[in-house]
Amino acid sequence: MASSSSSSSCSSSSEKKITLKSSDGEALNVEKNVALEFEPAKGFLEDNSEEADDEAIVVPLPNVSAAVLSELIPYVKQRLELSAKPVQKKLIKAFDDQFTRHLSDDKLGELMLAANYLGVNYLLDVLCDVTADRIKNKSVEYVREFLGIQNDFTPEEEAELRAQCPWAFEGVDQD
Amino acid sequence: MNQIREESKEIQEPFQQSPPLNTRPRRQRLQRNGQIWPGYEVIGEKTNLGRQRLQRKEKIWPGSEEIRGNNPYPGSRVKDKAKEIVDDNKSPFRFLGSEVIVDDVQDSVPVDSGTNNMSSYGQKTKPGRQRLKRKEYIWPGSEVIGESGSILTYQKKKLEDLPAKCISRIISLTTPRDASRLALVCPAFRSAADSDSVWEKFLPSDYEGFISNSSLIDKKKKDLYFHLCRNPILFDNNTASFGLEQESGKKCYMAGAKWIYENSGISHRDCKMIPSSAGSRFPEVIELKLMSSLEIEARFGTPIFSPKTNYAAYFVFKFAEFREGPETSPIDFEVYFEGSHNGKKRREFLDPQLSQDRGNRWIEIKMGEFSIENGDEGTVVCRLSEPEPLSKRGTIIFQGIEVRPEYGR
């Protein structure tokens, strides 16, 4: 999917710039082929295709902050370049690993929400993998904090759930 | 936090006039039904919604202002409406942050201003797109929230907002043990951690071959998983069994004595098929008189095992009622891949003291270990032999050879 959008309209579209407006009101200029990777932007551009001048279009992305967008854009750009070439999956995986390795837990969560909202599924998949790795064999409390989730269970409910599979709670990592 | 709670109480007040609303049970019901996303409980709750609204006015979803102002239901009816939706077990809707999952398809639906057009819920449109474009598009179910005094907002940094498929994916990338524990994180995780899509991944890919003829196929995948952990399934005319190891979901097998006998694995003239006693998983077992010529050999094709797993084979037996001390006789065990035997043997005594108790007087002795990488190793041979003529003789009841994963991998 990534390669088709970038290779078909190679030079002309990649030079065109689109402006994305983040939730905090910042405007970011991106190549059109990168913008097209974001589903809301793609839909917006399709619906405004009668607009002759792409440069005049400002795509609002009210669910993503500028900080997150500015991390996402280089990733998507490089990933597009990578997948346009006949490279091995290994290389893409190495690239993804490199991108995710140094992400803080908070950033990971923000990116995951953004990737979900923007419909960047290949990134979402990678981020899910990383999240799964990071919460493996961790205590429930750790995972809640990791994901910023409040405990909605009553103590009774929690005790009941614990009692169903006590073996699952033995020997988890120290928080 | 306290302040927030108080304020959200204020929001609820209009709905608490008659009858007084007991929020707790309602909320539990929501969670049990798995219909409603946490944080978007329908009404009368300490909700994240309330908080979001208070904290982040700027995050209010486009269009939600309209919804709020355009409540088609008088207060009392809102409750009824909400209850109706919640009580309807067949309702496929779940709130999911600012999105709604309808039978795992993310849909958004145009809403005629103010009317609650349930019939349009099945429409499939591109998610996300309407959000930006058209204010009149709101998410299905948001009427309920809007009516109840809460509003549909975008939640920042709340991973509860991830769609269920994402949470399911994360959980399915962990282990059955992790999944069982992660159910406790929050109700959203619980419904994902119980879902078929997660447990289907934990079940071995070929499980259906073992259960195709039984009623188990209709079970929820999680229930099936634990059923297979606790109740191994018999196959090959009830002479062998297949099951799962609980923590990892890896495959376990037991070749029954009869199965080994029928596959010429017992070179012993004095063996007698007898009906099984309590605690054996097979209907028939074999009574063996220990003497110098006893050899037992079970051979397994490695593709049947789970990949990347360390396995161990166990000799499962018990002593006949009257025994004459075979526990002092040494027995040699060998476990190896055919064609790559290094001649290493493991000498054990059939000593109950040194064996693992399996209940009902059945005991097991470890025969040896082997490692499966990709399943293309060929054939694994589990062998038992008597190294020297026995000075004392005895009788054992042989149940079978069990192969199951070793801990640590």
Q: What per-residue confidence (pLDDT) applies to A2?
A: 42
- Per-residue pLDDT of B108-153, as tens digits, reads 444 444 444 443 343 444 444 333 333 333 333 333 333 332 233 3
Contact B170 A149 (CB under 8 A): no
What tokens does B185 get?
């994180």
Who has greater pLDDT, A113 or B78?
A113
> Do residues B348 and B342 make contact, with C-beta atoms less than 8 angstroms apart?
no
> Closest to A44 (Cβ–Cβ): which among B39, B132, B182?
B132
Within 8 A by CB and 6+ apart from B294, the residues are: B267, B268, B288, B384, B385, B386
Under DSSP, is residue B254 helix (H, G, I), strand (E, B) or coil?
Answer: strand
DSSP classification of residue B334:
E
Residue A156 contacts residue B24 (beta carbons within 8 Å)? no
Q: Which residues of A35-62 are buried (b: 16+ CB within 10 A; e: fewer)?
A: bbbbbbbbbbbeeeeeeeebeebebbbb
B128 vs B49: CA distance, rounded Å: 20
Q: Check if A66 contacts B (Cβ < 8 Å).
A: no
How far is CA A45 from each of CA A42, A50, A61, A119, rounded to the nearest angstrom?
5, 9, 12, 15
CB contact under 8 A, A113 and B170: no
B62 touches chain A (CB under 8 A): yes
Interface test with A, best of B23, B30, B57, B132 (most A CBs within 10 A): B132
Mutate to test the interface with B, among A120, A122, A152 (most CBs of B within 10 A): A152
b/e for B230-268, b at 16 or more Cβ within 10 A?
eebbbbeeebbbbbbbbbbbbbbbbbbbbbbbeeebbeb
Contact B182 A143 (CB under 8 A): yes
Q: How close does chain A come to B189, measured CA to CA in Å?
A: 10
Q: Would an 8 Å CB–CB cutoff place B60 in contact with chain A? A: no
pLDDT digits (tens, 9 = 90+) for A34-52: 988 999 988 888 887 766 6
Digitized pLDDT (tens) for each residue of chain B, 409 residues in all: 444 444 444 444 444 444 444 444 444 333 334 333 444 434 443 334 333 333 333 433 443 343 444 444 434 343 444 444 444 443 333 333 333 334 433 334 444 444 444 433 434 444 443 333 333 333 333 333 333 322 333 333 566 677 888 899 999 999 999 999 999 998 889 999 999 999 999 999 988 888 866 678 888 999 999 999 999 999 998 999 999 999 889 999 999 999 999 887 787 667 788 898 888 889 999 988 776 678 899 999 999 999 999 999 999 998 876 555 555 677 889 999 988 887 788 888 777 777 788 888 888 999 999 999 998 889 999 999 887 765 556 788 899 999 999 875 4
Residues 6+ apart with CB under 8 A from B116: B72, B81, B143
Q: What is the largest CA-CA distance in chain A?
A: 64
Q: Which chain A residues have a beta carbon less than 8 Å from that of B31?
A: 152
Q: What angle do CA B306, B355, B347 make, to 5 degrees?
A: 80
Q: Which residue of B has its CA nearest to A165?
A: B180
Spatial distance between the Cα atoms of B212 and B52, rounded to a whole number of angstroms: 50
The Cα–Cα gap between B219 and B231 comes to 14
Q: Is B57 on the interface with A (CB under 8 A)?
A: no
- Tally the C-alpha atoms within 13 A of residue B232's C-alpha that lie toward its C-beta: 24
CATH architecture group of domain A13-135: 2-Layer Sandwich (3.30)
Q: Chain B within 8 Å of A149 (Cβ-Cβ)?
A: yes
Q: Tell me if chain A has a CB within 8 Å of the CB of B183.
A: yes
Q: Does A162 touch chain B (CB under 8 A)?
A: yes
Strand partners, A15: none
Q: To the nearest whole angstrom, how far is the Cα of A164 from the nearest Cα of chain B?
A: 9
For residue A58, the chain B residue with the least C-alpha distance is B132
B-chain residues near A18 (CB < 8 A): none
pLDDT of residue B352: 72
B363 — contact with chain A (CB < 8 Å)?
Answer: no
Based on its alpha-carbon atoms, the radius of gyration of chain B, rounded to whole angstroms, reads: 31
| Domain ranges within chain A, ordered by starting residue | 13-135, 140-165
pLDDT of A19 higher than 60: yes
Strand A58-60: give its sheet, edge to edge.
A27-31, A17-21, A58-60
Question: pLDDT at position B312, please?
Answer: 94
**Mean pLDDT score across all residues of chain A:** 84
Q: Which residues pair with B336 in a beta bridge?
A: B381
Q: What is the ipTM of this complex?
A: 0.83
- Residues of chain B with C-beta less than 8 angstroms from the C-beta of A105: none
User: Tokens in use for B191?
Assistant: 């419904």
Question: Distance, in angstroms, between A108 CA and closest chain B CA?
Answer: 10
Q: Provide the chain B residues 105-144 that lie in CB contact (below 8 A) with chain A.
A: 126-129, 131-133
Contacts of B387 (CB under 8 A, 6+ apart): B330, B331, B332, B347
pLDDT of the residue at A86: 82
Predicted pLDDT at B160: 64
Q: Please give the single-letter amino acid code of residue A20.
A: L
User: pTM higher than 0.80, yes or no?
Assistant: no
Contact (Cβ atoms closer than 8 angstroms) between residue A117 and residue A129: no
Residues on chain A touching B247 (C-beta within 8 angstroms) = 167
A contact test, residue of B58, B186, B407 with most A CBs within 10 A: B186
**What DSSP letter does each residue of A65-96 carry, written as one string?**
-HHHHHHHHHHHHHHHHHHHTT--HHHHHHHH
Interface size between A and B, measured as CB pairs under 8 A: 125
Q: A154, B129: Cβ pair inside 8 Å? A: no
Task: Return the residue in B177, B199, B247 with the most chain A beta carbons within 10 A, the one to mutate for interface testing.
Answer: B177
Of the candidates B39, B98, B157, the beta carbon closest to that of A110 is on B157
Residue reference for tokens 């990488």: B373
Going by their DSSP bridges, the two strands A58-60 and A17-21 should be labelled as parallel
Which residue carries 């050899």 as its tokens?
B295
